Chain A
Amino acid sequence: MIFATTRFFHFAHGAVYAWGAYLAFLFVKVLGLPLPVGAALAVVLCAGLGAAFELVLYRPLRARGASPLVLLLASLGAYVVLQNLISLFFGDQTQTLRSGVVRVGLPVLGARVTPIQLVIIGAAVILTAAVWLLLKRTRLGLEMRAVANDRALALVSGVRSSRVILATFVLGSALAGLAGILVALDVDMTPTMGMNALMMGVVAVIVGGTGSVPGAALGALLLAFAQHFGVWHISSKWQDAIAFVVLLLFLLFRPEGFLGRKVRKAEV
């Protein structure tokens, strides 16, 4: 979503994801707030963090005519800063948001699924549907798609693109924070979790099709599928490498992904 409207790779997004998990950790484990409250608070703060990025960093840069490359670099710097802030405040050791005993999980279709994993799946489905509805049915969604499609045209048609972009950041960052929390509930969290998630996110966006939300979902599904299929035959530690080989293949041969728009080299 963020990439579609702003047309650059907001690498710091990975840090927002990690911060979601750690903020929730702060509220729930350290301050003792109940899980739903702590989680909600963390998500809100993540949304705020996303807004801060847009307002403090990207908007001024765009105003100076910065290219997507410059924005990406600034975003990389931001990622490094944020990841290290987590290490500073919370330490490098693995933490978890889980409470209680690790249960075996219910058998579903021959595999074992824990309750929290069901929640994750459910949340993913609901949220994806919600985002899709937002984009298709609401005014904001329409404006987002307009900006993603052709910013100049959208501006001329009266869409306040800066407001739309801010909204995209807020929404996208909230989702990222939530994702971080859910993952921390399912497995563990470390300061570098953001990097991993970010990598997967980038691959999913590019494979699924840049600029297309259903594309991103499709990409994520395909990626997960490819990774786990690969794990069947090859050892699981190669997951990252597999993901990136897939990414490279797409960049080389089909940079617009499955459902996206052309991004090949500039031509005459």
Chain B
Amino acid sequence: MLRVQNLSKSFDGTVALDGFSAEVREREVVGLVGPNGAGKTTLFNVVTGFLKPDAGEARYRGEAVTGEPPYRVARRGVARTFQELRLIYRMTVLENVLLAFPAQAGESATGAFVRWLEVSRRQRRNREEALALLAYVGLAEKAGELADELSFGQQKLLSLACCLATGGELLLLDEPVAGVAPGMVDKILGLITDLRGRGKTVVFIEHNFAAVTEVCDRVIFMDEGRKVAEGTPADIRDNPDVIESYLT
């Protein structure tokens, strides 16, 4: 589904990605781990169009995504969350999710005036779907509250709901359970597992190795912009190169 080949990216002399290659198959849950500065978020940024690689390419379902602007990558079906938890804090929870729906006729300037019936019908449908999504992640009662008023864990759930609302089939989650209370960790991991059953493919970056072991089919270990090891969680944990990376 996603194939990344030989990606390289440097910033001001620091090498973030160094000929990185990997593959993700449909309906997999893949964990991306590695020490800080390994290039994990950079990889996400390149794949989602926020950065242009110096070399190499990434293909989603056969079509190149490197070099495309982020909004187009998102529209193709690649949804992501951010390490620093981006949301529209001044909008309500429901509005955040509504924002995420693709192809809204009401988003064109003329759509606010003509084809009124179609637009409002679509809006009503989106609203129902949004509420359903919020119920799925467990935020239904918070729909009318400002995103700012949620707890950190709830905000992470919200960003997950937004990802789902985009309709994307490949979800790239950047540290979905970092800094979250243990009860919420389980909830989020449960959702990720459930997503596979709904036809989604998930790749997530995490430092919490226990979480990764619990949920992932496969783990990719990165260090210094390169893929160091790849395999089941157990393989990675016992891999000597991995252990060495953490020690150096």
Direct A–B contact in the complex, CB atoms closer than 8 angstroms: yes
> Which residues of A sit under 8 angstroms from B51, Cβ to Cβ?
267-268
Contact with A along B37-48 (1 / 0, CB 8 A): 000010001000
The secondary structure that dominates the A interface is: loop
Interface range on chain B: under 10, 10 to 19, 20 to 34, or 35 or more? under 10
> Which residues of A sit under 8 angstroms from B41, Cβ to Cβ?
268
> Which residues of A sit under 8 angstroms from B82, Cβ to Cβ?
268
The docked-state distance in angstroms from the alpha carbon of A267 to that of B42 is 12
Within 8 A of A (CB), among B23-70: 41, 45, 50-51
The secondary structure that dominates the B interface is: loop
The docked-state distance in angstroms from the alpha carbon of A268 to that of B82 is 9
The docked-state distance in angstroms from the alpha carbon of A216 to that of B50 is 32
Interface range on chain A: under 10, 10 to 19, 20 to 34, or 35 or more? under 10
The docked-state distance in angstroms from the alpha carbon of A268 to that of B51 is 8
Within 8 A of B (CB), among A41-76: none
Contact with A along B68-96 (1 / 0, CB 8 A): 00000000000000100000000000000
> Which residues of B sit under 8 angstroms from A268, Cβ to Cβ?
41, 45, 50-51, 82
CB-CB nearest in chain B for A262: B12
> Which residues of B sit under 8 angstroms from A267, Cβ to Cβ?
50-51
CB-CB nearest in chain B for A268: B50
The docked-state distance in angstroms from the alpha carbon of A267 to that of B82 is 12
The docked-state distance in angstroms from the alpha carbon of A268 to that of B41 is 9
CB-CB nearest in chain B for A267: B50
The docked-state distance in angstroms from the alpha carbon of A267 to that of B51 is 9
The docked-state distance in angstroms from the alpha carbon of A267 to that of B50 is 8
Give the distance to chain B from A30, nearest Cβ to Cβ, in Å: 53
Contact with B along A231-268 (1 / 0, CB 8 A): 00000000000000000000000000000000000011
The docked-state distance in angstroms from the alpha carbon of A268 to that of B86 is 10
The docked-state distance in angstroms from the alpha carbon of A268 to that of B50 is 7
The docked-state distance in angstroms from the alpha carbon of A268 to that of B16 is 14
The docked-state distance in angstroms from the alpha carbon of A54 to that of B44 is 43
CB-CB nearest in chain A for B82: A268
Give the distance to chain A from B3, nearest Cβ to Cβ, in Å: 22
Give the distance to chain A from B220, nearest Cβ to Cβ, in Å: 21
Give the distance to chain B from A255, nearest Cβ to Cβ, in Å: 17
Give the distance to chain A from B47, nearest Cβ to Cβ, in Å: 12
**Using a CB–CB distance below 8 Å, which chain A residues touch chain B?**
267-268
Ordered by A's residue number, 7 sampled pairs between the chains whose C-beta atoms are within 8 Å are A267-B50, A267-B51, A268-B41, A268-B45, A268-B50, A268-B51, A268-B82
**Using a CB–CB distance below 8 Å, which chain B residues touch chain A?**
41, 45, 50-51, 82
Task: List the 7 closest pairs (A to B, CB-CB), nearest first.
Answer: A268-B50, A268-B45, A267-B50, A268-B82, A268-B51, A267-B51, A268-B41
